[in-house]
Amino acid sequence: MLSYVARRCLYMIPTLFGISVVAFAIIQLPPGDYLTTLVSRLENQGESVDRAQLESLRERYGLGDPLASQYVTWMSSILFHGDFGQSFEYSRPVADLVADRLPLTVVLAVTTLLTTWLLAFPIGLYSAVRQYSPGDYLATIVGFLGLAIPNFMIALLLMYLGQTVFGMSVGGLFSPEFEDAAWNLGKVIDLLGHLWVPVLVLATAGTAGLIRVLRANLLDELHRPYVVAARARGMPERKLLVRYPLRAALNPFVSTVGYVLPALVSGEVVVAQVLSLPTTGPLLLNALRSQDMYLASSVILIVSVLTVIGTLLSDVLLAWLDPRVRLDQG
Amino acid sequence: MTGLAAAPGAAGTTQTPEGPPTEKKGGAPPRDSASQWRLVWRRFRRHRLAMLGLAVTAALYLVAIFADFLAPFGTEHFDEDYPYAPPQTIQFDGGLHVDGYTTAVDNETYEQTFTTDPSQRIPVGFFVRGEEYRLLGLIPWDRHLFGPTEPGAPMYLLGADRTGHDLLSQLIHGTRVSMTIGLIGVVVAFVLGVVLGGLSGYLAGRADTVIQRVVEFFMSLPSLPLWLGLAAALPPEWGPLQRYFAISVVLALIGWTHLAREVRGRFLALREEQFVTAARLDGCGRRRVILGHMLPSVSSHLIAQLSLSVPAMILAETALSFLGLGLQAPVVSWGVLLQDAQNVRVLETAPWLMIPGLAVVVAVLALNFAGDGLRDAADPYRR
């Protein structure tokens, strides 16, 4: 088991390196560098440009050096000083900006993942055990719709219905009076009152996929000889189901984190924009629109790294749950 | 030996999973033998939902091809006098007509609101003369399938947007971009997926490990933030066509991984098959073994897999354009049209702006059903 975990952690290193290279490339892609953008922006605002300050900034980011050494400068200040650079859109350190929004993004992603499981588990189970029943067909149809309707359409529809039918605004994560308040019980309750909308919207696609996986896996298991054998020995159907096939079919719940999580993070960007949530998605979008590249690539870097770590956790969990996995590869 | 080629067409015949599904005359009786594609088609036809999906998909591509003729107006056509005009319904009383509009101005906000007015009649006809266009990009013509008989009269069957564009026409023109952008991306993804997946599966060993790590890397990334980063970095001076191609390549860069996995799995299984060994012993080079012997026996499966990645690309394009980082305004796609629907206040006055979303859902569902059916039908090992 330990060697399996160690191996998985080792595999992660090239992945993390790859992510950092991609994030760095995104900084480099737009024409010009940080300073030319900064200067043109300052001049547009009619402010004078301080030569000495520019020089120190040039020094700080190693601009003008070869790309490889710029990359090393960028990476080492992140790794050793937690310094992600400066956002000129907000004139604040990128680290602060991201720190403001990241916790809510993580809360949203984790809640959505749990909700996905909670929804998919009973529905998938029912679908497989009562195959071809009306309920199964309904679940299949809902599943297909969940996959086909873009997340943001569901968000738009909910917002529209909330506005016209119930006369309430659905967007945001906090009511205005709690927006800038310090954390207390009231704010948490207020958050929960708002959180369900994006969670529900984001959970649809993942749930739809998971139902199909669980149903297919369970159907495979249900016709295995060991199930027939247990039934022949007079084991009650319910106990039989829970004791054997269900355990085998549980694996997808853990293993699909690997692709549900990236999809979730992707979906979050669009949904958060539509519902104007204070998460990293809209931050990234604004940064990309205004070519605030240090901010944009930091968000991409952090979100991707978190996704990879989440996937690693799920793999370890899976190996712990299912000896076949760790014996096969470890 | 009952090879696939000799299986009689009667429904319910079990086909033994033996040998490659290519033609193999062996000891089969001299009977009219169906080609592999005919067998696939036969199985596919039994799948009703898949047939429906295929029909809808075909219809959508026909709309895309003949968009100029089917749409009452061109993409440039707009009438500033009718912002957010609500949808009209076609009525029949001896001749077809739609109701005209009356405007009311709110005394406080000075906002114009439109209501359909049954006392005004705008006659509508088929094959009316309208803007000139080139059918299929070649034949100059000015007839449209339907439209107001009197040019310039307001006809908004699905309502109008902020500047008075006809949503129905925009939707029909948008079909062209939305339904094709996935295709180019799919071709790029296909080449990448087949080459890398094929090498990975055929060579196995270290090459396999490296390629699999690369695939895992791409799969573990949240794709949308990456797409956004790449799309935002496209030079703003690029024209719509360049942007269109660039976006589809960006989409493909992430989309090839599933295909590569699939091809690798198939190749790993195939390389142990006897006909592959035979080809190798006959002195075929690596290229010839892969392209000439192994690829044909997975081709039907690959095509099915491909058809399933088109809807994913349509969804991705819609999301990108919706966020304003994909295609841009003069180009019309469903995602671009949905940009107008971002604001709840706008939606309150003009809920019909959500209709392009419905088009996306229909297209994605149809392609998914057709692709699912094709995958089931193309798999010779499935009952």
**CATH at residue A191:** 1.10.3720.10
Q: Are A311 and A261 in contact (CB under 8 A)?
A: yes
- From chain B, pick out residues whose CB is under 8 angstroms from the CB of A19: 217, 221
**Does B352 contact chain A (CB < 8 Å)?**
no
Domain count, chain A: 1
Least reliable range by pLDDT among A49-63, B62-76, B341-355, B362-376: A49-63
Give the structural domain span for B195: 182-326
- Tell me, yes or no, whether A128 lies in a domain: yes
- Tell me, yes or no, whether A268 lies in a domain: yes
- Tell me, yes or no, whether B258 lies in a domain: yes
- Tell me, yes or no, whether B288 lies in a domain: yes
C-alpha to C-alpha distance for A39 and A42, rounded to whole angstroms: 5
- Tell me, yes or no, whether B232 lies in a domain: yes
Nearest to B5 by CA among B17, B28, B13, B14: B28
Q: Are A86 and A96 in contact (CB under 8 A)?
A: no
Please give the residue of chain A at the shortest CA–CA distance from B343: A274
Please give the residue of chain B at the shortest CA–CA distance from A303: B222
Token output for B322: 């919706």
Percentage of residues in chain B with pLDDT exceeding 70?
88
Q: Please determine, for the modelled complex, whether the ipTM score is greater than 0.90.
A: no
> Is residue B19 pLDDT above 60, yes or no?
no
Please give the residue of chain B at the shortest CA–CA distance from A312: B220
Residues with Cβ within 8 Å of B335's Cβ and at least 6 positions away in sequence, in order, are B178, B317, B318, B319, B320, B321, B322, B326, B327, B356, B360
Sort strands A92-93 and A86-87 into parallel, antiparallel or unpaired: antiparallel
C-alpha to C-alpha distance for B102 and B85, rounded to whole angstroms: 10
- Tell me, yes or no, whether A72 lies in a domain: no
- Tell me, yes or no, whether A27 lies in a domain: no
Of A159, A169, A303, the CB nearest to B222: A303
- Tell me, yes or no, whether A62 lies in a domain: no
Q: B 191-250 residues with CB below 8 A of A?
A: 213, 216-217, 219-226, 228-230, 232-233, 235
- Bridge partners (DSSP) of residue B133 are B141
- Tell me, yes or no, whether A203 lies in a domain: yes
Q: Are A145 and B354 in contact (CB < 8 Å)?
A: no
Of A14, A265, A285, the CB nearest to B222: A265
**Run means of pLDDT, 10 residues per run, chain A, 330 residues:** 80 84 78 67 68 72 73 81 76 83 84 87 85 82 81 83 72 67 72 80 81 81 85 86 77 71 79 83 82 81 82 79 64
Nearest to A162 by CA among A208, A193, A206: A193
Of B232, B341, B365, the CB nearest to A156: B341
User: Higher model confidence: residue A329 or residue B293?
Assistant: B293
C-alpha to C-alpha distance for A153 and A275, rounded to whole angstroms: 11
When scoring A7, A151, A165, A269 by the number of chain B Cβ atoms within 10 A, the one with the most, hence best to mutate, is A269
- Tell me, yes or no, whether B210 lies in a domain: yes
Give SS3 for B105. Answer: strand
Of B216, B223, B319, the CB nearest to A150: B319
- Tell me, yes or no, whether A80 lies in a domain: no
- Tell me, yes or no, whether A258 lies in a domain: yes
Least reliable range by pLDDT among A45-59, A153-167, B110-124, B188-202: A45-59
Please give the residue of chain B at the shortest CA–CA distance from A258: B220
> Is residue B168 pLDDT above 50, yes or no?
yes
Domain count, chain B: 1
Token output for A120: 């998919």
- Residue A86 identity: Q
> Is residue B21 pLDDT above 70, yes or no?
no
Of B224, B230, B338, the CB nearest to A269: B224
Give the structural domain span for A280: 102-325
Q: What is the distance in angstroms between the Cα of A236 and the nearest Cα belonging to chain B?
A: 31
- Tell me, yes or no, whether B251 lies in a domain: yes
Residue range B256-276: average pLDDT? 81
Residues with Cβ within 8 Å of B330's Cβ and at least 6 positions away in sequence, in order, are B75, B240
Q: What is the distance in angstroms between the Cα of A155 and the nearest Cα belonging to chain B?
A: 10
- Tell me, yes or no, whether B312 lies in a domain: yes
Q: Are B188 and B256 in contact (CB under 8 A)?
A: yes
